[in-house]
Amino acid sequence: MTFFKAPFVAMMWLCCATAFAQGEDCEVRVSPPAFDFGVTDRGVLLQQGMTAGELSFGSRRVQVQVVCDQTLPLALRFAAPGADAERYRFGIGTLRLKVMSVRVDGAVTQRAGEHDVLRPGERLLPLLASGRRLDVEFEVEGQISNAASRVADLTRLDGEGVFRLD
């Protein structure tokens, strides 16, 4: 939930408290299940600087852990509304999920593909594609366009999503 108030903004994103594994005996944990970008105003956002017309609320780290009873193909998807090809919807803003690290059964591996961002509609496919445990760390950055940050009243930004094992 993010709130903008004629110049104040409070931001929280409720993320992925539940996750699913399709018909398999797997448990998916997300830590933290919710996070808060805090309360801010446009002036503070402008002081942090603008990149490509976007102001940043900062970033938070999220760990996703998948533990299965048996060895399975491990492909992770984040099911949430997309804002564009690279980011997810976050009220009048956006969220970007950058993949920081991937481990399969404790071994560090790379993500298959050329991007370090998990995009809407994509799956995270580790190069070590099968295992019993998948650990992924994401950096989640909240952003808002310069134009959208000009609000007349308290404005709340929030978003939801679910990590799914595909």
Token pair belonging to 51 = 């990149």
Q: Give tens-digit pLDDT for 83-121.
A: 999 999 988 889 999 999 999 999 999 887 777 999 999
Could you count the other beta carbons within 10 Å of the beta carbon of residue 49? 9
Q: Pick from 33, 37, 40, 8: which is nearest to 18 by CA?
A: 33
Could you give all domains of the chain from N- to C-terminal order, each with its CATH number?
3-165 (2.60.40)
The pLDDT value recorded for residue 24 is: 59
Could you count the other beta carbons within 10 Å of the beta carbon of residue 152? 8
Do residues 64 and 76 touch, judged by C-beta distance below 8 A? yes
Q: Give tens-digit pLDDT for 13-60.
A: 444 434 445 545 888 999 988 878 877 777 777 777 777 778 888 889
